[in-house]
Amino acid sequence: MSTVLITGASRGIGAQCALLFAQKGYDVAVNYNHSAEQADALVQELCSCGVRAIAVQADVSDSMQVSKMFQTVKAELGEVEILVNNAGVARVGLLTDMTDDEWDKLISTDLSAIFYTCRAALPDMIRAHRGVIVNIASMWGEVGASCEAAYSAAKAGVIGLTKALAKEVGPSGIRVNAVSPGVVMTDMMQGFSDEDIAALKEETPLNVLGTPEDIAEAVLFLACDKARFITGQVLSVNGGMVI
């Protein structure tokens, strides 16, 4: 069975992706940066599905750590055939209040990290003439969000990278797509009040907010053979907020 590596997989969307892939029989590498306890607990749950799973610590904004992560995964689970780039951070605030360090951290985590992981994954995929990459973007990368200029810029970059890389590696039998979530109830929503949540629901045509399961199901679809003729696409999962 194929090996899938999911970045930022210790909780939220990444953890749900890991569970779905394990339930379908995939071996799973759970990348985390700080949440070792959560990652280890998730690995135990994944192994109960009858698959192999490991937790791999790496700050994906650091290219050297990414290289070591891929070496570890290959040694323990084999070559990565499916890469899910989920790790990311967000920041809400005026662009004029943003420091150089804050900008660099966000761009390196949300955009540069995807360059590092794709670069590390592609040689084996190209050699095998197969592979799938699914990048987690955002609806704000499609249309932009006030007070989230840096985040919007990074996610727009993810979308551009996805489309360009799909053309570049398509002849090698590799598919590259993105899932673009809307408002999803994850840790990133902790700073929002009940009133904020209610207002966001009202802005969503379906009148509900997304769950990690909603996004994970879209990722799984794009990774499986049912999507064999889909590449370079952005699948928007946002309840109709952005059309």
Q: Which residues are catalytic?
A: 151
Max CA-CA distance within the chain? 52
Burial 174-192 (b: 16+ CB within 10 A, else e): bbbbbbbbbbbbbebeeee
**Cα dihedral sign for 121, 122, 123, 127?**
positive
- C-alpha triplet 132, 121, 149: angle, nearest 5°: 80
Contact 211, 184 (CB under 8 A): yes
First to last CA, the chain: 36
Token pair recorded at residue 211: 């769950």
Concatenated DSSP letters of 31-67: EESS-HHHHHHHHHHHHTTTS-EEEEE--TTSHHHHH
Token pair recorded at residue 78: 């084999």
